[in-house]
Amino acid sequence: MRILLTGCHVVEPANGEIMKDAALLVDDGLIAWVGPADSYPGESAVDCEIQMDGHYVMPGLWDMHVHLAMTVLKETADEQTVPSETLFSYRRALAFLNSGVTSLRLVGSSPDGVDFAIRNGIQRGDYPGPRILTAGEGIASTGGHGYRGGEGCDGPYEFRKATRKRLWQGADLIKVMVTGGMGGRYETFDAPQTLRDEVAAAVQVAHNAGKHVAGHIASPSGAIMCSEEGVDTVEHGYALDEASLQVMEQNATAFVPTAVVTHDPDYWHQLEVASWAMEKIRRARDSHRRAVALALNSSIEVAVGTDLPTAFMDGTVVTVKEMEIMVELGASEREALRAATVVPAAICGLDKKIGQLKPGYRADIIATAGNPFSSISSLREVDLVIRDGAVVKNDISGHKPVGLPQQFLTGPC
């Protein structure tokens, strides 16, 4: 399938440049050509040409901290089962995709393997969906954050064993729970739980397999320990300070702050979250915002992630809301877009394949009517989504494929 986008402005968050009046050719899932429209060679016929009407074209977005099956609904028609979890998770994945989030990093799931099944089905082309990288079930110490009365680990040998189990399942990364969090009733959000030798054991096994490690970490001491032991990304960082951020900077540890978690306590109130969790969220809000602002003012690589039980907040997909908060806390629009494209691809080892609009890269492409470098909120209205070379949404030319990629359609795009 050869798709030609004409009459567009190509946005590159990697270098902060915008190519005006451009054209972009997609061929068999790859970007084949990009440049000024009047230079397009046009030597071969295309299957589909989309007149972009001056839209801004950019790489598809990433959300680096997602739990597809997470919900806080107090009442459901049925008890959660593998079939219901599968349908719920897949529907949420499509909601992200339709909003321009073409890649998801799942950092903890139930032990039934639903996330692996959805990832594998999308990879095979059995059904449409975003690119998914999954850690499988997070690795927690007994009684620690994420422990559900099932498998808990104690000591480095058990952490090694659990890491090897995740790798055997096909995990793309490893998630280690290091401190307490908002969802544990009998723990403070920054309570230390996992010990240094346990973290080191998981990191050693994961890195030997070429996988990166994400750490659920709230406290400065937890961030320092994990950064020194080679954990690749600090997730949340509700209470990080200058000293811990400096160590992360020295060790090139990336930060996925999920600032949206503590941004608006009213959001959680509307979801009827338990009072003890609400209190922790309120208590962490100021320190969390300060930590994110400090990180944005450093050389630490910051990536967009959300960690919410809904795909939407404040009238937009939560991924874009996180980017808006980053801008509010000191990031430029270009930095926020880079944190949702270039940085995640690099963390996941895919920076030579996706995250930029260059020949040879996979064609994960979105488009907005507004310039995202002028206002990141222009991403609230994504009019075109192309995932791996397949058109899944096109509100520009009037044809709306209802979330299905081109190979599932019989007509022109």
- The domains of the chain, with CATH numbers, are 2-59+355-408 (2.30.40.10), 61-347 (3.20.20.140)
Which region, left, alpha or beta, applies to residue 315 given φ > 0 means left and ψ of -120 to 50 means alpha? left
320-376 residue pLDDT tens? 999 999 999 999 999 999 999 999 999 999 999 999 999 999 999 999 999 999 999
Torsion of the alpha carbons at 127, 133, 136 and 137, rounded to the nearest 10: -120
pLDDT of residue 72: 72
Tell me how far apart the alpha carbons of residues 199 and 217 are, in angstroms, rounded to a whole number: 12
Q: What is the mean pLDDT of the chain?
A: 92
**pLDDT over 90 for what percent of the chain?**
80
Q: Answer yes or no: is pLDDT of 164 > 70.
A: yes
Strands 30-36 and 17-27: antiparallel
pLDDT of residue 75: 43
pLDDT of residue 398: 57
pLDDT: is 185 or 403 the higher one? 185
Torsion of the alpha carbons at 309, 311, 316 and 317, rounded to the nearest 10: 120
111-127 residue pLDDT tens? 889 999 999 999 999 99
The dihedral sign for the CA sequence 196, 139, 183, 310: positive
71-87 mean pLDDT: 72
Angle, in degrees to the nearest 10, between helices 114-124 and 82-98 = 50
Lowest mean pLDDT among 38-47, 154-163, 173-182, 362-371: 38-47
pLDDT of residue 265: 87
130-160 residue pLDDT tens? 999 999 999 999 877 877 756 789 999 999 9
Lowest mean pLDDT among 22-31, 239-248, 265-274, 376-385: 265-274
**pLDDT over 70 for what percent of the chain?**
93
Tell me how far apart the alpha carbons of residues 112 and 68 are, in angstroms, rounded to a whole number: 13
Residues forming beta bridges with residue 56, ordered by sequence position: 9, 368
pLDDT of residue 407: 40
Q: Answer yes or no: is pLDDT of 239 > 80.
A: yes
